[in-house]
Chain A
Amino acid sequence: MDIDDILASVDHGPGASRESAALDHQLLTRFWVSERAVTEVLPWPAPLMERIMDRVRKQIETIEDLAASSDILTTDNPNLNLRLSILQTDLARTQYIVRSLLRARLAKITKYSMHYLVHLASRNKNPSETQSTASQNPNQQPADSVPDISSLTDLSPLSESEASFLHAHQTLLAGHYASSFMGAFPRQLRRLDDNAGGTSMIQGPDLKEVVFVRCLGAEVPVVVGGEDEEDGDETGVMMRMGDVWVVRWEGVKAAWGKGEVELL
């Protein structure tokens, strides 16, 4: 037990009450279903996940304490085994959701690794700068086109460990490409983010794919086009409370962020 654990046991914070355990569980479940339903990586809910992992750690301690006490006092409490099995089932269910959530995110991050790296890098500095300096480099390697994100502070939608995994993964992959085939290419063809001829080599998630949503707000309009398009404020059909719709993800993404629709 280190100092953080002692502090955590003293300072319960806002996430320690019983009601918030139930609420956080519902939020985690909903976020897991959402993450499984869309093609892009959703913004990492850091405070929620911290609270959940904190509770999981505490619950493991509780279970261990209970199991230890069962060795000494076997006849004291006939329900002990039942309680233990309930607690363990509950723990396993939560751990399953967290694991499935993280794996689903990792799969998307590796699938669209260049897209997310470029996206992270472009938001934090001038994107034209990297392109121009890199093209003058005579020893162009595929790894050079992997943006450096180590100094970035805003990693949305990824978590910190996901971002570092993403960078390490893509650096390894670029190195592997270079040694296996790209090293033999002409210098100007060695970039992984080549967009010669107006076609970008970077594949991103398709935001136009359809999703199933339930409308939870009183009335929620479906937006025509994504929020990055000029006619983003134009609306299409109107969903009413309790309705289930098949719509494009980009049309309800903003409403999802406000919690007014739920992905199914």
Chain B
Amino acid sequence: MAFPLPRGVTASEIAFLAEMETVTIVPRQRLEGLELLGGPVEPLVPPRRASLPLWLALLLKRQRRANIIPPAWLHPEPLALILEVESQHQDYKNAFSPPPPLPGQPSILDQGALPTARPQYTPDGNRYYAAPPFLPQNTAQPVASSRDPPSLPFHWVEVGNLLLEAASDDLMDPDQIRRLLKDLREVRMAKMRSGIDVLDAAATGGGGVALTGVGSMELGEERGFVTGVVDGLRRIGSSKEQARREQMAEQRANGGYNGTQDDDEEEDYMEF
């Protein structure tokens, strides 16, 4: 057996990914810059703040070589506000609170503004859009404008728990934060469960179910269940879908559709 794990990243792999998030630290000692495989690390000069990947910040924190400045969202006030939105707000009765915007995405306050995706280019010439965990969503001062309402980043469960566990003395009122995180988990988990009803939409071709604002660990928890339900629904509905497809093909044929069918190959893979 080459690989025993199921499809989709597992909980420990998600935690591994969350450790790539960037956090802000205050170093307690000097350390020259390092060229890591994950990218260069800036020199540490106390008391100047530095941005490091979370795994490195935790390594330094455990050896008492640095203090971690908690992410902007990991304070009692923003968490209480998000919890209020999640549980009380009319618009988010059945949806998660909005996630932090991606680079180029308009703020939640600018309704109607068009998003402008800003791609980087890879050395192979392909487009690359940065996404969590490689966005500064867990630094002490997020790049997003300060008028944005607080929001939970993609890896909020993992980052929150790792920091509570390893750096609770750096957090403001850790017990309160722990309580709020737990409440948030429960409110959002209930939403995830109640959303099972609409999964039928994802079982049809071209359809889908939106889970915008979901956290990585929350996805990981529900992945097996959701994919299982949707694939079951798809099998049940496959004859219906086939009939609909044939009907549409017939309509197209009557409307003078002239496409050529290539059925000499079983699969037609795309060339990248």
Contact = CB atoms under 8 A, between A and B. Distances in A.
Interface of A: 14-15, 18-27, 29-30, 33, 36-39, 43, 45, 47-48, 51-52, 55-56, 59, 62, 79, 82-83, 85-87, 89-91, 93-94, 96, 100, 103-104, 106-107, 110, 115, 118-119, 122-123, 127, 156-157, 200, 204, 208-210, 212, 214, 216-218, 222-225, 227-228, 230-231, 234-237, 239-248, 250-251, 253-254, 257-260, 262, 264
Contact of B7 (A24, A39, A248, A257): A39
Contact of B31 (A52, A79, A107): A79
Interface residues of A, dominant DSSP: helix
7 closest cross-chain pairs (CB), A and B: A236-B206, A22-B39, A224-B206, A107-B3, A228-B268, A216-B129, A247-B208
Given A90-B36, A245-B208, A254 B117 contact: no
Contacts, number: 243
B105 A93 contact: no
Given A90-B37, A156-B269, 15 more contacts: A24-B123, A33-B9, A37-B7, A62-B35, A82-B63, A82-B65, A100-B3, A119-B267, A123-B265, A204-B267, A223-B206, A224-B205, A242-B101, A247-B209, A259-B119
Nearest to B238: A208
Given A36-B7, A90-B38, A212-B223, A242 B208 contact: no
A38 B116 contact: no
A241 B199 contact: no
Max count, chain A CB within 10 A of own CB: residue among B117, B208, B234? B208
A208 B234 contact: yes
B47 interface: no
A127 B266 CA distance: 11
Interface string B23-36: 00000011110111
A236 B209 CA distance: 12
B267 A85 contact: no
A118 B267 CA distance: 10
B171 interface: no
22 contacts: A20-B123, A21-B37, A36-B9, A37-B7, A38-B7, A82-B31, A93-B16, A106-B3, A107-B1, A118-B266, A119-B266, A119-B267, A210-B203, A210-B231, A227-B270, A236-B204, A246-B226, A248-B205, A257-B272, A258-B126, A258-B127, A260-B117
